Structure 1
Amino acid sequence: MSSKKPVGGSLAIEIEMRAEAAASIRVLGQRIERQLTELQQLGQQVRAMAPSPARDRKLAEYDEKRREAEYRKWTLIVQREAMGLFNHDDVEEIYRVPPRLS
């Protein structure tokens, strides 16, 4: 039998809130990973296409997905800061948004 007392009161609420925040960050990271994979594939398609209206449409799709990835990465950073994490070097290294294409 454990001699530790169960966590209660405001500490239990704090623990639950931090667990929810961590889960939210994990899900957002997974979404960003999927989106970056899609973005990389789309970028390869755009680079392989000859100049044409179809390429222009694909490039516009790439640009939109790239903006979405940048926004999701920003929301991840905001959520991390809300949890007291202010060094985002790991975020910048792990979630590298590819450059713009022309």
Structure 2
Amino acid sequence: MSARGGGLRRVEKEIVAEKAAALGRAGERLEQALAEVAELDARLAAASDPHARARLGPAYEQARARAASERLGLLIQREAIGLRHHRIVDQQFPEPPPLTGGPRGPGTTASGSASTAPTTLS
């Protein structure tokens, strides 16, 4: 084995490791964003005061938008390393539902709590 071939393998190994690390970081950011959405959803579910729900609604939508952005980042990372099918992402990281005027009134999620089924973010 030539020194040149060994150096190339080292660089290739480093590139693969960095791709894996970047994919992991994207997944962690998405998990954090989804945890924030879930916390706000729980607070919305517990809020009985319409004013509290009105205050929490924009925070929920902002967290939901961040989750959508982080999810897109994860999908881009997956595409960059050749993973073209994202069904597992849909299963592992379902998109949170938008706020609706559901049974608890304005400022509630579509399901009344955290969603477990994928939906589409606007």
Question: Given the two structures, how large is their TM-score scaled by the length of structure 1?
Answer: 0.82
* Structure 1 SS opposite 2:84: coil
Of Structure 1 and Structure 2, the greater helix share is in 1
2:7 alignment counterpart = 8
Identity of aligned residues (%): 33
Aligned to 1:41: 39
In the alignment, structure 1 segments of 5+ residues that lack a partner are: none
The structure 2 residue matched to 1:50, chosen from 48, 51, 66, is: 48
Looking at both structures, which has the greater relative contact order when contacts are Cα pairs under 8 Å and sequence separation is at least 6?
1
Among 71, 88, 91, the alignment partner of 2:89 is 91
User: Residues 47 and 53 of structure 2 are in contact (CA less than 8 Å); yes or no, is this contact kept in structure 1?
Assistant: yes
Matched to 1:64, the amino acid is: Q
Please, what is the CA RMSD of the aligned residues?
A: 2.1
Counterpart position of 2:15: 17
Taking structure 2 as the reference length, the TM-score comes to 0.70
Moved over 3 A (4+): none
Say which is worse superposed, 28-37 or 59-68, in terms of deviation. Answer: 28-37
